Amino acid sequence: MASVPSPSESATNRVRLVGPYGWEPLLVSAAIFFAMGFVTWLNGPLISFVRVAFSLDDVSAFFIPLVFYVSYLVFSIPASLVARRLGLKTGLAASILLSALGVATFGQFITWRIYGGALAGLLLLGAGLSLMQVVINPLVSLLGPPTHAAKRIAIMGISNKFAGMLAPVALAMLVMRDIGTVAQRAQAADPATREAILNGFVQAIYWPYLGMAALLVGLAALVWMSPLPQIEAPPLPSLSGQMRERLLKPHLVFGVFVLFLYVGVEVMAADAIGTYGRGFGLPLDQTKFFTSLTLAAMLAGYVAGFVIVPRFVSQERYMAFSCLAGMLLTVLAFLAHGYVSVLFVALLGFANAMIMPTIFPIAIRGAGRATSLASALLIMAYSGGAIIPQFYVLLKPYVGFQAMFALLVLPSYAAIFLYARIYGRIGLDKK
């Protein structure tokens, strides 16, 4: 029978989890991650929405994740400079306001049916989220001991993925209720009637997106008025010999590479799952909800990780197990058909949940004064969510949508597994 921890042991565990700053920074961070999750995980159903609204092919519709995630590549270093100038509290508030501007811009241009303008709104949103990530991720990682870093990030993940689970359902119910019928009517109509049908269809997105922008402005005000300390962000160091040596540490270099692969896999499982389901001929009125299935699985994975790590297994070993589970589920998805195959893809969310929360702390171990630049490089790796899904939609007509999914996802899991095995323990020794 397991022993019950004494009050002093429980207090020690709480200190390890939240560190000397207490719960306030963690709770504020969780609220921000909720907002980030809500606006980020709309991308999956938005792919289907813009495909119908603008009569796009898969490649053009996947500009949604392409533009959104490439913004991390473009803005991460500038975001680090802004964070350094503004400080933590002001930087967070500014990032949320910029995200609100991006959300409002996207909704307005969608309503006008100007696809390029809508993509520009996503770019603004990505710029705001880049600034958030630059500030939040290292903060959460360093709030306490490295052994509990994945657990702290798991709390952020629970908040993020809970919002992500709700967001596609909300969009589907408020904006995409009749998307299947609209698509059929538009396809059968003459050009003038098609334009009238689609112009009416896109109007439903305006007020929900304006409402989200208003809520983000309110969150920015909440952050500004919160007791969060005005901590100065660490400066981006000059690339001196010592700094270059720290940035060229193998566990950071390969951490950037495997994080690029991981975000690509995460977007494949969450945002591309609707397109994957359409490959089986499943109706749009059902595929619009599939992103929520993946996010529900991710939420369950974060809860499991929060309970298990590090009490029963280290975060590094748990990540290795997660990769093995992801490879098994990918093979089963390839061998299955229809709804069963889609279910295995959605279950990848469970396997994915604790991978990024473990890669990030391993990669920045030992970075010292280069931590801010190392964090910016890792956030730039989020651009994997732009590149890997594009390979999928470009190549799936030639090799099949199931085979292409497996060809991209399996090697990615294998690379992350090797990273966990090779650098997980080494990272602990290189403080």
Q: What is the pLDDT along the chain (431 residues), one digit of tens a residue?
A: 444 444 444 444 444 555 555 566 677 778 888 988 899 889 999 999 999 999 999 999 999 999 999 999 999 888 877 877 877 678 888 999 999 999 999 999 999 999 999 999 999 999 999 888 777 765 665 555 655 666 677 677 778 878 988 998 899 888 888 898 999 999 889 999 999 999 999 999 999 999 999 999 999 998 888 766 555 555 555 556 666 677 778 888 999 999 999 999 999 999 999 999 999 999 998 999 999 999 999 989 888 887 887 788 888 888 999 999 999 999 999 999 999 999 999 999 999 988 988 888 888 887 777 777 788 888 899 999 999 999 999 999 999 999 999 999 999 999 999 999 888 765 444 44
| The three-state (H, E, C) secondary structure of 99-160, written as one string | HHHHHHHHHHHHHCCCHHHHHHHHHHHHHHHHHHHHHHHHHHHCCCCHHHHHHHHHHHHHHH
Token pair for 198: 């689609």
Q: Report the C-alpha gap between 292 and 29 in whole angstroms.
A: 23
Q: Which phi-psi region, left, alpha or beta, contains residue 55 (left: φ > 0; alpha: ψ -120 to 50)?
A: left
Q: What angle do CA 171, 96, 226 make, to 5 degrees?
A: 115
Residue 178's identity, in one-letter code, is: D
Q: Report the C-alpha gap between 205 and 221 in whole angstroms.
A: 25
For the chain, the domains span 13-429
Q: Report the C-alpha gap between 42 and 291 in whole angstroms.
A: 9
Farthest-apart Cα atoms in the chain, separation: 74
Q: Report the C-alpha gap between 124 and 104 in whole angstroms.
A: 10
Domain range 13-429, CATH class: mainly alpha
Check: CB of residue 298 under 8 Å from CB of residue 353: yes
For residue 6, the model assigns a pLDDT of 47
Q: Report the C-alpha gap between 416 and 318 in whole angstroms.
A: 12
pTM across the whole model:
0.85
